[in-house]
Chain A
């Protein structure tokens, strides 16, 4: 199956700093990538959908200036949490949808802890 990587797998940062999370499709081209947030023992909450070369579409209630998403190529999307605060601490998961597939492939997730 197709492989999606995420980096870093975990990160701890100080309040007020910015953190960038990378999502890569390793063996296929991803026309669309999704970013999710998951709180403990809860479901995945879609934050935004990004298509290569265009602006991301954010879900209602997600601050686009705080969660910057860039999908610069068909294999890479990045999520930058700007001016992070403790309430941004969460598990962030990306997924990728390729043109040849009817399913999305998930990255292993990134655990963000903001002190």
Chain B
């Protein structure tokens, strides 16, 4: 079974600075999708960014970018120019070709003004 590991239960960053959240996963598949979701206090899950495993280029969405290392099974999220609204729980997720999703345990991000 696939597993997703987030080794940082909590992280903090100064406003306007950059922070990187780590995620590793275990799989025997070659084709899959990876996601980062944000869950603010409202608890609504919001998609931040996604990466298709077959794409070598790292995905980027405005201030959010990933460092996808397929061989190392690593998928970290970099948040640049952190804003107060970025404070939330962040979950890394893996989707199999069979449409099964696996979530990491989450990282709580605090943004310090």
Measured CA separation A109–B41 after assembly (Å)? 12
Interface of B is mostly: strand
Write out the residue numbers on chain B whose beta carbons fall within 8 Å of the beta carbon of A34.
101
Query: Contact at A108–B100, with CB atoms within 8 Å?
Result: no
Q: Which of B35-67 contact A (CB under 8 A)?
A: 35, 37, 42-47, 50, 52
Say yes or no: A106-B101 contact (C-beta < 8 A), given A43-B106, A44-B91: no
Determine if A58 is an interface residue (Cβ-Cβ < 8 Å).
Answer: no
Number of A interface residues in the complex (CB < 8 A):
21
Chain A nearest Cβ from B86, distance in angstroms: 18
Query: Contact at B44–A106, with CB atoms within 8 Å?
Result: yes
Of all chain B residues, which has the CB nearest A44?
B103
Write out the residue numbers on chain A whose beta carbons fall within 8 Å of the beta carbon of B104.
43
Measured CA separation A43–B45 after assembly (Å)? 11
Query: Contact at B50–A102, with CB atoms within 8 Å?
Result: yes
Say yes or no: A91-B43 contact (C-beta < 8 A), given A43-B105, A43-B106: yes
Measured CA separation A41–B95 after assembly (Å)? 22
Determine if A93 is an interface residue (Cβ-Cβ < 8 Å).
Answer: yes
Question: 0/1 per residue, A3-31, Cβ < 8 Å to B?
Answer: 00000000000000000000000000000
Chain A nearest Cβ from B42, distance in angstroms: 7
Measured CA separation A108–B108 after assembly (Å)? 19
Say yes or no: A32-B99 contact (C-beta < 8 A), given A42-B105, A102-B33, A103-B35: yes
Write out the residue numbers on chain A whose beta carbons fall within 8 Å of the beta carbon of B106.
42-43
Most buried by B among A1, A95, A109: A109
State the 4 A-B residue pairs at the shortest beta-carbon distance, nearest first: A106-B45, A43-B103, A43-B105, A44-B103
A interface list, Cβ under 8 A from B: 1, 32, 34, 38, 41-44, 46, 49, 91, 93, 95, 97, 102-106, 108-109
